[in-house]
């Protein structure tokens, strides 16, 4: 019997959850509580499953998302998540079938691009995704950092206040909206995001909720310009020496002063000797904010947010450019969704992009265009790797000048 790939029904949702948990190596049993908790927040019209003799053996889900692009515009995107194939049914093309249905539907809805966080590198390039933003994990040796042990408040005249979850739900969304305007790669956070991360709601199957510490930075004018969420363990060594580690759950700031103040505050908390922060921006200011930058070391750096362009012309017109130039791009797309030749006329004042008939200046796959899109990848490097073909002399240099940005993209959130 052939495996049936389709949008799931209401009654199939528990079996879909079980297959999803199996694919992510989680205990497969699904409780009624989990079904009741997840169902109101799941659009079944965007949930697919593969069924073999009535049993779900592969899962796929997408949801509506907004992503900030270079220059601050926010674009509708198709966020891909919960992708699994049960080990008994690998290498049968199930993911390819589900992905094709989802991307075609997303394009039809008018979503400009698709996004995902890739658990494994080799999978998604063949579907036209490219790694567009990286993330860095940091560990700070606090005693070595060299901060003044008498530090008690920001030098800039602002202040830091500890708040509770209710305050964060009130202050956080507006702060995050401001943060997103200046951070390419940042994605939207809905009301449930804030509820889950402040204990108002709790995803089933997770450990019992324990409230973290919330700290907000207020500018000298009283405006909330930064938010820090952290947790700390209770670890003491011989001779009653504190060996506690503070772990950053979230830190967003809309000014360098706010970022500096929150990092200095955390590295000045009594008994904390180590600070760990995951999924930070690839050009994080953290080490340079410390008297001894070597106190902060990278423990991991890897690709994080992947992008797949669905509407090339709209996407290239939406972002801004730091240089001026004209470029004709031949975009290859084996799935046919974005294939074509496009003329881009760009300048710091704006851009126009439309299908073109003239000869191409560069040829590249849609996945490599996705990697370039937020300004992180280097066209020169991609050309050296054979992934961009220069059809007109000097065109790779023009591509580099147009697409690269001074600020690297960063997506603080997984999904």
Contact in structure between 408 and 371 (CB atoms under 8 Å): no
Residues 6+ apart with CB under 8 A from 147: 264, 267, 268, 290, 291
- Can you give the C-alpha Rg of the chain in angstroms? 23
Contact in structure between 135 and 248 (CB atoms under 8 Å): no
415 is catalytic: yes
Instruction: Tell me the C-alpha distance between 298 and 311, whole Å.
Output: 36
Nearest Cα neighbor of 400 from 378, 370, 382, 369 is 378
- Please, where are the H alpha helices in 120-235? 142-145, 165-181, 191-196
Instruction: Tell me the C-alpha distance between 373 and 376, whole Å.
Output: 8
Catalytic residue among 13, 51, 60, 124: 124
Residues 6+ apart with CB under 8 A from 125: 367
Instruction: Tell me the C-alpha distance between 133 and 366, whole Å.
Output: 16
Nearest Cα neighbor of 210 from 218, 221, 202 is 202
Q: How many CB atoms lie within 10 A of CB 124?
A: 24
| Torsions phi, psi for 288 (to 5 deg) | -75, -10
Contact in structure between 130 and 379 (CB atoms under 8 Å): no
Q: How many CB atoms lie within 10 A of CB 186?
A: 25
| Torsions phi, psi for 137 (to 5 deg) | -100, 135
The SS3 of residue 221 is: coil
Contact in structure between 31 and 18 (CB atoms under 8 Å): no
230 is catalytic: no
Q: How far does the chain reach from its first CA to its final CA, in angstroms?
A: 34
Q: How many CB atoms lie within 10 A of CB 104?
A: 14
User: How many angstroms from the chain centroid is the CA of residue 366?
Assistant: 19
Q: How many CB atoms lie within 10 A of CB 394?
A: 9
- Among all residues, which ones are annotated catalytic? 124, 415
């Amino acid at each position: 019997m052939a495996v049936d790939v389709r949008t799931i029904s209401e009654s199939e949702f528990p079996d879909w959850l079980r297959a999803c948990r199996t694919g992510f190596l989680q205990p497969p049993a699904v409780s009624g509580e989990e079904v009741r908790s997840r169902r109101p927040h799941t659009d079944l019209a965007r949930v697919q499953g593969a069924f073999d003799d009535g049993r779900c053996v592969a899962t796929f889900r997408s949801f509506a998302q907004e992503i900030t692009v270079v220059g601050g515009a926010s674009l509708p995107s198709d966020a891909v998540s919960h992708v699994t194939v049960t080990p008994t049914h690998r290498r049968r093309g199930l993911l390819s079938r589900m992905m094709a249905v989802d991307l075609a539907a997303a394009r039809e809805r008018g979503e400009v691009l698709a996004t995902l966080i890739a658990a494994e590198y080799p999978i998604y390039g063949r579907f036209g995704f490219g790694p567009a933003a990286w993330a860095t994990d940091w560990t700070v040796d606090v005693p070595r950092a060299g901060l003044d042990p008498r530090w008690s408040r920001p030098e800039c005249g602002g202040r830091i206040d500890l708040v509770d979850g209710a305050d964060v739900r009130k202050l956080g969304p507006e702060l995050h909206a401001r943060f997103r305007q200046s951070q390419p790669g940042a994605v939207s956070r809905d009301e449930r995001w804030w509820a889950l991360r402040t204990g108002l709601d709790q995803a089933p199957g997770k450990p019992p909720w324990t409230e973290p510490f919330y700290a907000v930075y207020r500018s000298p004018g009283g405006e909330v310009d930064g938010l820090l969420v952290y947790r700390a363990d209770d670890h003491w060594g011989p001779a009653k020496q504190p060996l506690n580690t503070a772990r950053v759950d979230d830190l967003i700031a809309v000014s360098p002063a706010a970022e500096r103040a929150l990092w200095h505050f955390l590295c000045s908390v009594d008994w904390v000797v180590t600070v760990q922060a995951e999924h930070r921006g690839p050009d994080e200011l953290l080490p340079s904010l410390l008297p001894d930058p070597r106190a902060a070391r990278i423990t991991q750096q890897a690709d994080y947010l992947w992008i797949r362009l669905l509407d090339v012309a709209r996407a290239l017109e939406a972002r801004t450019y730091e240089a001026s130039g004209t470029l004709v791009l031949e975009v290859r797309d084996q799935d046919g969704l974005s294939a074509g030749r496009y003329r881009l006329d760009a300048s710091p004042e704006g851009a126009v992009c439309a299908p073109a008939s003239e000869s191409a200046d560069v040829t590249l796959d849609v996945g490599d265009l996705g990697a370039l899109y937020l300004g992180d990848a280097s066209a020169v490097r991609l050309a050296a790797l054979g992934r961009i073909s220069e059809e007109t002399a000097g065109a790779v240099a023009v591509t580099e000048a147009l697409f690269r940005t001074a600020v690297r993209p960063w997506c603080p959130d997984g999904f």
